[in-house]
Structure 1
Amino acid sequence: MDDPDCDPHRLERTYAEFPVINAVFSGWARTYRRFVRPMLSTTAPTRVLDIGSGGGDLARALAGWARRDGLRMRVVASDPDPRALAYVRNLPPAEGVDYRDELSSDLLAAGERFDLVVSNHVVHHLDAPQLADLLHDSERLAPVSLHADITRGRLAYAGFGMLTWPFFRDSLIREDGLGSIRRSHRPAELERVIPEGWSALPQGPFRYLLAHGIPRG
């Protein structure tokens, strides 16, 4: 998906299939219940930034869960890839979600502020300086940040490959997912390099949250 010359049809199918794959593998429903929902209010809207939002499925899920619970949330789903923005702008409007194309540094320079910054499967795409920039910007954009990603491991790689082999033939889900697992980190590796105040919290054997602004326990 990072290749600007990848097949546009398969890329669009990948965006369309992300809601299915993330519902099964991402664990965001639990993360919402544990960390996000306690921040929300029935009166004042909580402002959330989804960095690297891709097809926007996480932003729509968070806004939908909050609405179901009678809580107020506005999500800015931002991705600088023009292909992602073109895809989401062709979807039906999603209540509580605004699609943008700025980088986190652009939003920070513009004086934007949020209550919560999130991302899904962004960290493994970043080299060390880019990760440092993401964490720097996140701290300044919001008091709480939750960056979710995959934990690298042979079992995760083999399991994802086996479970997705019969499916997703018309998209990049399987090959991109396997590449993502190969590039991803382990929580202990991140703990050695992340700034003070950040924690790499294991979320079961296959995922972690890179978190800031929540109690360590």
Structure 2
Amino acid sequence: MSFLARRATDAVEEMDRPDCDPATLRRTYSQFALVNRAVSGWRRAYLRQLRPRLAAAAAGGPQRPATLLDIGCGAGDVARSLARWAAADGLPLAITAIDPDERAYAYAASRPAVPGLAFRQAFSSELVAEGARYDVVISNHILHHLSPSELEGLLADSRALCGSLALHSDIARSALAYVLFAARTLPFFHRSYIRRDGLPSIRRSYTAGELRRAVPPEWKVVQDSVFRTHLVFEPPAAPRA
């Protein structure tokens, strides 16, 4: 598949258009939870990477829950899953989930409330300007949407905002990912943007090697699976007194 040899940065996703159909967009938001449960791997990331950091942060004192920021939260389903998993583990966790798109924010905020989870329409740069700080910063499927300058801004904001870990999870471009997604979604999602935007998303996404060349050296690129990459930053440990 020669068209996958390079990132298709000019590929357009319909749901990113300001004039896309509102009913189709809402159906798409409603289906994100299903798609993310199937392909995003956040349960594994929670168990292996997030939970240990959040538990250590929450152990710092009974009056302080661990804190997590979800940047570009979309429909909010990943943040909701993390809140439920933490609650099931008895882990005090306060999650702030942000998205600058008023349509995404409106949908996420309209869903039933989850204890410890708050939604906000905002850019990460606004939180930096406010002096906000979180134990863990995450995002799901936003890296491939960003221009080089926007990626640089996201990484700078993430460094400023995270106290323990920043983890940005995204699609890994490959022929296998493209073929499997095309085949498995063919019978479904005809009344939403899931399939028609999912294929351009794969084309726009980075390979692990491309992502390593695009980010500063203090960021670690991990090939989580053939379908997914993690971009990880861990602040240097403070020197002991």
**TM bracket, shorter-chain basis:** over 0.9
Specify the alignment match of 2:96 in structure 1.
Answer: 76
> How far did 1:155 drift?
1.1
Match of residue 34, structure 1, among 24, 43, 48: 48
The residue type paired with residue 56 of structure 1 is G
Q: Give the aligned partner of residue 221 of structure 2.
A: 200
Shift of 1:103: 0.3
- Percentage of pairs with the same residue: 48
Within 2, Cα distance between the matches of 1:31 and 1:214?
18
Does residue 49 (structure 1) correspond to residue 63 (structure 2)? The answer is no
Aligned with 2:130 (options 75, 93, 110): 110
Alignment correspondent of 1:92: 112
In the TM superposition, what whole-angstrom CA distance separates every residue of 1:11-53 from its partner, at most 9, and x where no partner exists?
0011100000000000000000000010123643111110000
Deviation at 1:214, TM superposition (A): 7.6
Unpaired stretches in structure 2, ≥5 consecutive residues: 1-14, 237-241
1:205 alignment partner AA: V
In 2, the alpha carbon distance for the partners of 1:214 and 1:64 equals: 27
2: CA distance between counterparts of 1:3 and 1:184? 18
Query: Secondary structure at the residue paired with 2:196?
Result: helix
Which deviations, in whole Å up to 9, do the C-alpha atoms of 1:167-193 show, x marking residues without a partner?
111111001111110000011111122
TM-superposition CA deviations, 1:73-111 (whole Å, max 9, x none):
111010010001111222111111100011010110011
Which piece of structure 1 moves more, 98-107 or 187-196? 187-196
> CA separation of 1:214/1:31 partners in 2, compared to 1, >3 Å: closer, same or farther?
farther
Aligned residues: 215
1:12 maps to what in 2?
26
Please list every run of at least 4 consecutive aligned residues from structure 1 whose deviation after the TM superposition is greater than 2 angstroms: 40-44
Q: Which runs of 5+ in 1 are unaligned?
A: none
RMSD (Å), alpha carbons: 1.3
Q: Deviations over 1:98-143 (max 9, x none)?
A: 0001101011001111111100000000011110110000000013
Q: Report what 2:185 is aligned to.
A: 164
- Normalization by structure 2: what TM-score? 0.87
Could you tell me how far apart the structure 2 residues matched to 1:102 and 1:49 are?
12
Higher relative contact order (CA 8 A, sep 6+): 2
CA distance in 2 between counterparts of 1:214 and 1:148 reads 18
After TM superposition, the score normalised by the length of structure 1 is: 0.96
Alignment of 1:137-176 (within 5 A): 137-143=157-163, 144-176=165-197
Cα distance in 1 for residues equivalent to 2:170 and 2:119: 22
Higher gyration radius (CA): 2
